[in-house]
Structure 1
Amino acid sequence: MRAFHLAVPILTLFLAAFSARAEVLSVSASTSGWFSRETVVTIALVQAQAYRIGVQDTHGQLHVDLVDGSIAADPVIETDGVLGSVRMGRADLNTARITLGFQRQVTLESAGMEQTRNGALLTLIFSVGNARVTPVRPDLPEDPDRPIIVLDPGHGGIDPGAVRDGISEKDIALAFALELRTALEAGDAYTVVMTRETDLFLSLRERVRIARATEAAAFISLHANTVTRGNASGAAVYTLSAEASSAEAAALAALENRADSVGGEVLDAGDDDLALLLNDMTQRETNARSARFAEELVTGLRHSVGVIRSNPHRSAGFRVLKAPDIPSVLVELGFLSDRQDRANMISPAWRAEAIAGIIGALDQWSEQDRILAAGAASQ
């Protein structure tokens, strides 16, 4: 079943190009009519901008590309029963992308940009069918005993991450995350949310926002490492800390934190000051939970694939791990600069073994975390 039909005659719609960069302030949806026959999606911008509309039929997705566009630091997002999800990121260096995920079959009837007193509005009008589509992100469970796990494939889009012999970190991370999601969902113990499912650039801030919006029980960011000098191999697991556990961990955090600069994001002056954040009681407890999770992951990977670095649990100031209320870890699966690690990471058999180790660790940690939380609540 096709999720979309375009009544407008072309997929690409343009306004005259503007010299300044337009910023997306909000995305909202409103459905009206008998049996919810029409949905209007409005995208508020600082100013009018050239745009393109594209369709991905498989999972009920439509994307809007804004030429020379950017995303506000905290855009307002309002969904409804037809528009189920909104993702924002970059399609390339100069193009902001808004991906709309629909829960019903829709037809795009019209699209238009207009100037307003406060900026501009891009209005998309859809007629709504009765058929439901399979969403990319699953509905969040009503059962609170089924934890939500957010998988975050690192890098993406214009940011390839590490690259060696034509193999990029962004592709390794995405392939592994998709297979890990499949395995987790097969066990029916978790609900899985992905920060990205395609080759899309997302800011570190957006990745954290997705985790917090879903009230995730755990956040797992997946990466691959590389070195330009010397030799290094094996997996490692990183958690958040104000002071890095080693110079190498500090260098890796600095490298990963620069990912946002690829997409043109300018960091706030105090954005990397972790001292105040880590003094917060909630953050201290979250860090302790993250550390226990990291130790379980190290054990699981050691038992499943055996390729582990010395001192495999490390820490530094990774911005993507900053959610104050969600246990968060960054898993480096191996080194693209090492021939054997590289062969492992592109091997389906090796990935399956590593995934088994990660799921076993997640199961073990989740049970321990539940017991500790119950004990604390009874005191």
Structure 2
Amino acid sequence: MNSPSHQTQDHGSKSQAQARADQIRAFRAESDLLAQAGLLSLTEENRQHINTYHQQVLDDLRRHQDVDLSEGARHLSLGMQIVSFLGASALATSLFFLFYQYWGYFSTTQQVVLLTLAPLLSFGLALATRRFDTSGYYAKLIGLISFAALVLQINMLGSIFNMAPSPNAFALFAIYGFLLAYLLQVRLLLAAAMASTFAFIGAHLGTWMGGYWIYFGEKPEHFFLPALLLFAVPLVFTQHRYHGFASIYQILSSIAFFIAVLILANWGGASYLPWERKPIEGFYQVIGFGFAALLILYGLRAGRPYLMLTGNVFFALFLFTKFFDWWWDWLPKYLFFLLIGLTAILAMMVFNRLRKLQQGGHLS
């Protein structure tokens, strides 16, 4: 048998490359178990060819995608992610205080130049670092600093020239955040860009409804439109090459949507609807239960457990708030919590039934 040839392959995103490496590790472990049980018999030559091929693939993945080839390496990678976030936060804070410490020593022109160069230089440095940093941690750290530099730039330029606050600043934050997130594959920057998008759309909706944009958060309905739009992004534009982006889009959008509904379900006076408070609260309670159930079913059908978990959490929150409204004042406390416990057991039975149906293929 000829020695297997290996050509460098495009394994897509780092998550896809990591999944490929995990497949090889799982294959090796399962092959060893089958061989010990006498269910798999390979000649030494075949085993050597397979091991050689797999090692070439793993070396290629480690060289181009810096994947983790052991559980210890995976844990260290998680630690590096946490440390890089803390480092970026500390450096961004240092940049902020550095500007304010020596700000008075610069002329207006120098201040504008410094504020303009800070995000541009850090952006260029992040791209340059990305070319030789296979792990991506250093480039991501610099990207976070660059985003903080832009936020600092917009705020301080507004202060220098005494400009009125504008919601359009959130559009700049969102655009730059999305740009950095996709270039450097930073989920935290994607979340920041989404938050800026929520603020931008919500502020303009508040203005169109006759309010001052700064108070857009007083009307939770402002967040419905951006939540639905951002939830649909991974449905329209594939995110396979960007690890975790689809889940970030849909989880954060769902959380924003359900928090807004939960607020309106308990404080109907914050709604635009021209009804009495109680009918508004009842309407949004129905919306909350209905959309939470739909999210659970959608997550089940689409094979997205994070959506099922999100739907479960908010369905439970809506249910608990209704239990509290109905029975807290007149039921004995032990009976109240007993009822909640029994309801949880019933929910477990329902979800277990759905899980078995899903495994049997009836809900696919």
TM-score (norm 1): 0.24
Which structure's residues are more often helix, by fraction? 2
Pick the structure with greater CA Rg.
2
TM-score (norm 2): 0.25
Which structure's residues are more often strand, by fraction? 1
